[in-house]
Amino acid sequence: MSGVLVDTCVWSLALRGTTPREASVAEQLTQLIDENQVKTIGAIRQELLSGYTEKDSYEKLRQKLLYFPNEPILDSDYEAAAEYSNFCRSKGVQGSHVDFLICAVAVRAKFKIYTTDKDFKHYSKHLPLLLFEHNAAISGDIFVSCFTHIIGRSPCVKQLTEKLSGSLPCYVSGLLLECVTRYRKYT
């Protein structure tokens, strides 16, 4: 892998960073930045900057994004994007021009694509894409905290626990048991 092309939706989640999911995405993106793996293209930069109407926020983000030079887009990338779009459409899969341009650049440059956009899973069934798999492993404390919050709202803690634990890997079932134990201790 020579890099990871980070899609707009991932940047947006990471920049918000207020929910556990957003914080997890921000942590993963930070790790990729630290490893000098993050790549971008002008269309992604434009989408990101287009979301900021306040001049100071816009300028602050623009300055931060300067750290990531644009991957050059070749004429052949635009042609490949059109071919990908036509091929996917013939298979019943629709997508945006920017999505297919991301695909074309990633294939040519041998980048993985880091996205939360489910459309890319559909594209990858028909195109030679490498999708970056977000490290979904979260710490036990984060899991316990999140799940305890969820079960605290559930009137049927025991039923919820039994239903979930039967379909989860062992280590997650153990965390689930810890959540229930903590919940019962505080209620």
Q: Average pLDDT for consecutive 10-residue bins of the chain (187 residues)?
A: 91 92 93 96 96 93 95 98 98 97 98 97 96 66 48 51 48 49 50
Quote the tokens at residue 99.
């999505």
Q: What is the pLDDT of residue 152?
A: 54
Q: What is the pLDDT of residue 72?
A: 97
Q: What is the pLDDT of residue 134?
A: 80
Helix (H) or strand (E) holding 79: helix 75-90
Q: What is the pLDDT of residue 51?
A: 84
E runs forming strands in the chain: 4-6, 38-39, 112-114
Q: Where in the chain is the domain with CATH 3.40.50.1010?
A: 4-124
Q: What is the pLDDT of residue 178?
A: 52
Q: Give the residue from 107, 38, 23 showing the smallest Cα distance to 68.
A: 38
Q: What is the pLDDT of residue 17?
A: 85
Q: What is the pLDDT of residue 160?
A: 47
Look up the pTM and report it: 0.72
Q: What is the pLDDT of residue 2?
A: 83
Q: What is the pLDDT of residue 59?
A: 97
With left for phi above 0 and alpha for psi between -120 and 50, is residue 110 left, alpha or beta?
left
Q: What is the pLDDT of residue 172?
A: 45
Class at the top of the CATH hierarchy for domain 4-124: alpha beta
